Chain A
Amino acid sequence: MASHGISRGSGPVVRSEEARQKELQQIEAYKDLSDLVNTKVAERQYTFEVLGLVTKLLNENPEYYTVWNHRRRVLIALVAEQTQSPDELLQGDLQLTFVLLQSLLGPDAAQKLWSGELQLVNKMLHADSRNFHAWSYRRIVVSKIERLGSSTDSTDANSSLAQSEFDYTTKMIKTNLSNFSAWHNRSQLIPRILREHDADAKARRAFLASELELICEAINTDPFDQSIWFYHQYLMSTISPSCAPENLIVQDLTNGDRQKYYETEMEYIKEILEDETDCKWIYEGLLGLAEAYLEVDAGTAVVTTKDMRAWLAELKRLDALRRGRWEDLERKLQL
């Protein structure tokens, strides 16, 4: 594959004749194995012997997608023959095939398989906490487990894993505040949790307050980390009048409430400014809040054009890379 992050100590590869001969032998062995597998599958020899050859080939080249497809073909045929129970067959082959075979298994076996998958995803995210494929797969696995535990076809509150998944994001964030994948997944879970808990108006306000407290602490810890600011933007987006009803955290917001939230956030961010004058995210955050504030109350004295001009000037000074964006913003806000 394209070589990401493969570094070399010295210049181009120069192989000795001996090394070259050795590599030629490796190529020949690899091509022989590959030809053998392809021939046998083309002849529909869906046997345990071929399954073994497929395993060997995949160990040599796990990116060979056609051979993974061959593996599915062989396994489907073997399961259909039922010479061995699907459970046994799958022991060494979990992640690839049980999706295909779930219909053949009882609900308990399926539960066991998907729980095993969740553990696998845990391991993957432990090794690489930003891997977006692993996070996507986690969401799939969780929804499978939820559906298996539900009496109906869709997920109900009893079988929901939303709360434990939410707690998992808390754990991941505490390990590394900069893990936006965890912050993102958290934002996806919040509307579900509130719905499933039948949260009333008071509980919803308390929930928003605790999320704001968490993110403000994070901002204070590292105001230079953009993951944190994007989560702050997410929380602010749920306060906006244009937020879709299903994404609202607090459902009965008046414009007066909104102003209060914006004011509190601005105050807090201005406090950080006292220690940290050279962090562009602070000025960007303040300008974003000011813009949102003006949307719900244009005639206020809380946000002044003078302040906004000053913040924008700081952005231009600190963030020259994005000068074109700040110039466009200046025109848009008519500053």
Chain B
Amino acid sequence: MSLVSGPGRAGVGAMPAEMQLFVDKHVRYIQSLDTRKDELEYWLTEHLRLNGLYWGLTALHLLGHPDALPRNDILNFVCACLHDNGGFGAAPGHDAHMLYTVSAVQILATLDAFAEFEERVKDGRQKVVIADLQDPETGTFAGDEWGERDTRFLYGALNALSLMGLLDLVDIEKAVQHVHSCANFDGGYGTSPGAESHSGQVFTCVGALTIAGRLDLVDQEKLGAWLSERQLKNGGLNGRPEKKEDVCYSWWVMSSMAMLDKLHWIDGEKLTQFILQCQDPELGGLADRPGDMVDVFHTVFGIAGLSLLKYPGLEEVDPV
């Protein structure tokens, strides 16, 4: 899976008056990503490969083409990223980190391949390293042995452990209290206590609280209001006050609103139009905003946003 941007760019060429989702183009775009090994950027983005695979695979599932990438190749690649300690790196030879371990678990869950994975890796490496990364004092999680802490890693840990049915390995109550300590007066959440509210971090914190069954801790009216103000006149969503719109917030903002049951607090029709304008109608893929280069990251989060908006023909996405 290539994280190389392009080849196409969004919103060029003839956009039909009646906007539509170019499903087949996007499927072919994602299929073509691993054939770009003659581009330097393919190699310079190797540190995102496993995430990219998860993004591409998820997009294909939402588009109703779950088998468009070869299952066996995916599993081979995932297994090749596994380390002795049970964590996964971005690609073979890259260090293990929470961000890739979560992608690996999500891919295995998407492909319903946990049993097959254990069959393939019989040497004991398939143990869970995630639980060891929790800070017993504060309840938060580190990304790896070097210790950077961030609510992203906490959410990733709870997400992956819940997919594996292993939530009882960690101190959920402590994790919940840590998330709660990251809440701000505006109802939003930051990367750590005292940090500015940010839609990406709101998604991770609300997601973690949803997994833990503790949405009662969220100031839902205030946060819903703050999230709804992310929508700009052009229909797109931004991540923080007075920032530019970006297709990826169609996921971070909308999934949070879905968890709070407040999707109707923004104009879904206008957002749909904005996301569709970010497509490349010829070569497939979505960009951050119209006119920019497409990539697989914006492709999956744009499509996932459309799925939350109940765009016809798309599979339903779980906002958590």
Contact = CB atoms under 8 A, between A and B. Distances in A.
B191 A320 contact: no
B249 to A, nearest CB: 12
Interface size class of B (residues with CB under 8 A): 35 or more
A66 B93 contact: yes
A185 B186 CA distance: 13
B7 A321 contact: no
Nearest to B94: A66
B231 A2 contact: no
B87 interface: no
> Which of A1, A3, A20 has the largest count of B CB atoms less than 10 A from its CB?
A3
B225 interface: yes
Interface in A1-29: 1-8, 11-13, 20, 23-24, 26-27
Nearest to B39: A23
B238 to A, nearest CB: 10
Interface in B105-153: 144, 146
B184 interface: yes
Contacts of B159: none
A187 interface: yes
Nearest to A185: B196
Contacts of B192: 136
A287 B194 CA distance: 28
Contacts of A187: 185
A274 interface: no
Given A7-B291, A8-B6, A136-B195, A23 B40 contact: yes
Nearest to B143: A65
A226 B241 contact: yes
A234 interface: yes
A144 to B, nearest CB: 15
A322 interface: yes
Contact of B47 (A5, A8, A66): A66
Interface stretch (A114-122, A176-184, A200-208): A176-184
A286 to B, nearest CB: 15
Contacts of A251: none
A268 interface: no
Nearest to A235: B185
Interface stretch (A77-85, A212-220, A259-267, A323-331): A323-331
Contact of A139 (B46, B146, B194, B226): B194
A130 B292 CA distance: 22
B129 to A, nearest CB: 16
Interface of B: 3, 5-9, 12-13, 37-40, 43-48, 89-90, 93-95, 97, 144, 146, 184-186, 190-192, 194-198, 224-226, 228-229, 231, 233, 235, 240-244, 246, 248, 262, 264-267, 270, 283, 287-289, 291-298
Given A12-B8, A27-B38, A132-B195, 14 more contacts: A8-B9, A12-B283, A13-B7, A23-B40, A31-B43, A34-B43, A38-B93, A61-B47, A65-B94, A72-B146, A132-B196, A184-B184, A323-B267, A324-B266
Interface of A: 1-8, 11-13, 20, 23-24, 26-27, 30-31, 34, 38, 60-61, 63-66, 69, 72, 130, 132, 135-136, 139, 178, 180-181, 184-185, 187-188, 225-227, 230, 233-234, 237, 247, 320-325, 328
Closest 8 CB pairs between A and B?
A2-B297, A3-B5, A324-B264, A325-B265, A12-B7, A184-B196, A321-B267, A66-B95
